[in-house]
């Protein structure tokens, strides 16, 4: 039988030489009720006859014979039925998993910083491409792009998105009522930390002051860092917006409450604010509550163990170390965090902010970060803890969040660190939008 396939190949060479490569591979891409012509029935060689033809290295039959073999083969292919030439229902919005203008999970993009006050925003995703506050490895300025890229396979139903062909016939009440958008990145100056952080503060302020949501009166903002210094600007904005201190749940391997005289050397005022001192300043400025804040996943060595531990407690933080997961497990950590939101917090409506430094994960799960520390959580454990905050008093009072310290230059080719950050944002959205069918 292999001789018959050889004949078909030889015949194809004769026929295909007279047609374009595109037609050869796909047939007609655009046609109007095109029908294949009828061809005369032909008889294939027997194996003996075909052997005789090619053993003599002579062509025994005319070209038309071989052309009919190929045409008869092409006739058996199923015909593609294309939509009408002017039908764009399946391409009118970005549904391309592998390309297109990239937003987080294909969420709609609007300019949240100027104009568009008529556009409702319940949850805003915003990038903070900033890494000039790091003490070890830079690169987190590229974090927002990497997170968006790994979020291409996610998609959320959104009342601000057009319905594609797959859900064209869904009833409107089947879609959740929250408006979730990607605001893009705040333009942050790469040369001066003070200007850059002020730009981020004004960007956050513009989002919450210029927009109202369909559900939330004040939009919730999830920030994609950037190094951890950016959290200070988010807390400043929330403190001004809510007119009360914020309770912070801080997932990290480092405490980040270091006194700038101890970390950074206190050489200049300019250098004193960095990704290890921002919580010190948040407490000093009164942006966060005096007690009841939590560090989760801590395992890094302290600069001055005695002083740093006392100072951290003065800043209002309690610590759940990374090794606690071996003793009390995921459920034990969830229980402690949930119970930290007291009856007084419920009465006062204390706002909560979640900050996730991706280095809370073990380097095996997040190598692409500025300051790795061994012995961290697995990605599954972190996501389980976050998911355990849903439908709790603490979870219902979350008014903002961030994911920081994703540094793509140190990530794997598979982007596992950025992928973990994508999943963290997904979990944060689940907490903020508890009715969204994710």
In the structure encoding, which two tokens stand for residue 57, read together?
Answer: 């290295």
Is residue 222 pLDDT above 60, yes or no? yes
Tell me, letter by letter, the H, E, C secondary structure of 167-203. HCCCCHHHCCCCCEEEEEECCCCCCCHHHHHHHHHHH
Mean residue pLDDT across the chain: 82
What are the φ and ψ backbone dihedral angles of 124, each rounded to 5 degrees?
-110, 130
What's the average model confidence in pLDDT over 117-123? Answer: 88
Q: Which two tokens stand for residue 58?
A: 């002579």
Q: Which residue has the tokens 């005319």?
A: 62
Which residue would you say has higher pLDDT here, 44 or 286? Answer: 286
Q: Is residue 77's pLDDT more than 70?
A: no
Q: Which neighbouring-strand residues pair with 126?
A: 223
pLDDT higher for 56 or 179? 179
Q: Write the DSSP assignment of 384-401 as a string of letters.
A: HHHHTTTTSHHHHTEEEE
Q: In a 3-state reduction of DSSP, which class is residue 119?
A: coil
**Distance (Å, whole) CA 420 – CA 367:** 11
Q: Which helix (H) or strand (E) holds 324?
A: helix 324-327
In this prediction, residue 48 carries a pLDDT of: 47
**What integer pLDDT is reported at residue 33 of this predicted model?**
46
Percent of the chain with pLDDT over 90: 54
Dist. CA 240–CA 246, nearest whole Å = 10
Is the pTM higher than 0.85? The answer reads no
Domains and CATH numbers, the chain: 17-46+57-82 (no CATH), 96-160+168-434 (3.40.800.10)
Q: Give the Cα separation of 381 and 376 in Å (integer).
A: 10
Q: What is the pLDDT of residue 27?
A: 56
Predicted local distance difference test score (pLDDT) of residue 340: 96
> Around Cβ 168, how many Cβ atoms within 10 Å?
10
Q: What's the rounded mean pLDDT across residues 91-97?
A: 60
C-alpha 68/C-alpha 373 separation (Å) is 69
**Closest by CA position to 402, among listed 280, 266, 222, 265:** 222
- Residues 353-375: tens digit of each pLDDT: 999 999 999 999 999 999 999 99
Higher pLDDT, 289 or 88: 289
Would the pLDDT of 41 be above 80?
Answer: no
Written as six digits, the tokens of 53 are 């033809």
CA–CA distance from 375 to each of 81, 173, 364 (Å)? Answer: 56, 46, 9
């Amino acid at each position: 039988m292999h001789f018959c396939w050889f004949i078909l190949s030889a015949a194809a060479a004769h026929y295909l030489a007279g047609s374009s490569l595109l037609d050869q591979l796909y047939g007609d891409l655009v046609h109007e009720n095109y029908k294949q012509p009828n061809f005369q029935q032909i008889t294939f060689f027997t194996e003996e006859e075909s052997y005789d033809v090619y053993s003599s290295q002579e062509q025994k039959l005319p070209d038309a014979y071989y052309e009919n073999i190929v045409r008869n083969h092409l006739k058996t292919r199923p015909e593609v039925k294309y939509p009408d030439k002017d039908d764009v229902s399946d391409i009118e919005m970005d549904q391309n998993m592998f390309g297109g203008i990239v937003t987080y999970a294909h969420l709609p993009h609007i300019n949240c910083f100027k104009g568009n006050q008529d556009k409702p925003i319940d949850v805003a995703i915003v990038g903070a491409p900033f890494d000039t506050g790091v003490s070890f490895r830079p690169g987190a300025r590229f974090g927002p792009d990497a997170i968006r890229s790994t979020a291409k396979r996610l998609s959320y139903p959104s009342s601000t998105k057009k319905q594609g062909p797959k859900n064209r016939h869904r009833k409107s009440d089947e879609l959740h009522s929250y408006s979730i958008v990607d605001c893009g990145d705040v333009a942050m100056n790469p040369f001066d930390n003070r200007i850059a952080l002020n730009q981020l503060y004004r960007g956050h302020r513009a989002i919450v002051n210029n927009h109202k949501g369909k559900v939330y009166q004040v939009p919730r903002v999830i920030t994609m860092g950037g190094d951890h210094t950016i959290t200070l600007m988010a807390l400043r904005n929330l403190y001004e917006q809510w007119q009360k201190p914020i309770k912070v749940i801080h997932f990290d391997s480092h405490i980040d409450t270091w006194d700038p005289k101890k970390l950074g050397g206190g050489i200049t005022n300019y250098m004193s604010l960095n990704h290890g001192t921002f919580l010190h300043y948040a407490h000093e400025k009164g942006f966060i509550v005096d007690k009841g804040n939590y560090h989760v996943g801590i395992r890094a060595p302290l600069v001055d163990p005695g002083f740093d531990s006392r100072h951290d407690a003065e800043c209002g933080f309690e610590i759940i170390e990374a090794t606690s997961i071996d003793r009390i497990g995921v459920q034990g950590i969830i229980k402690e965090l949930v119970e930290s939101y007291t009856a007084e917090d419920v009465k006062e409506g204390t706002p909560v902010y979640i900050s996730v430094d991706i280095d809370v994960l073990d380097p095996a799960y997040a190598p692409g970060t500025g300051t790795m520390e061994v012995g961290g959580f697995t990605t599954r454990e972190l996501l389980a803890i976050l998911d355990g905050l849903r439908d709790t008093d603490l979870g219902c009072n979350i008014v903002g969040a961030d994911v920081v310290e994703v540094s793509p230059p140190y990530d794997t080719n598979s982007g596992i660190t950025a992928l973990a950050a994508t999943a963290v944002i997904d979990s944060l959205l689940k907490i903020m939008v508890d009715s969204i069918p994710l």
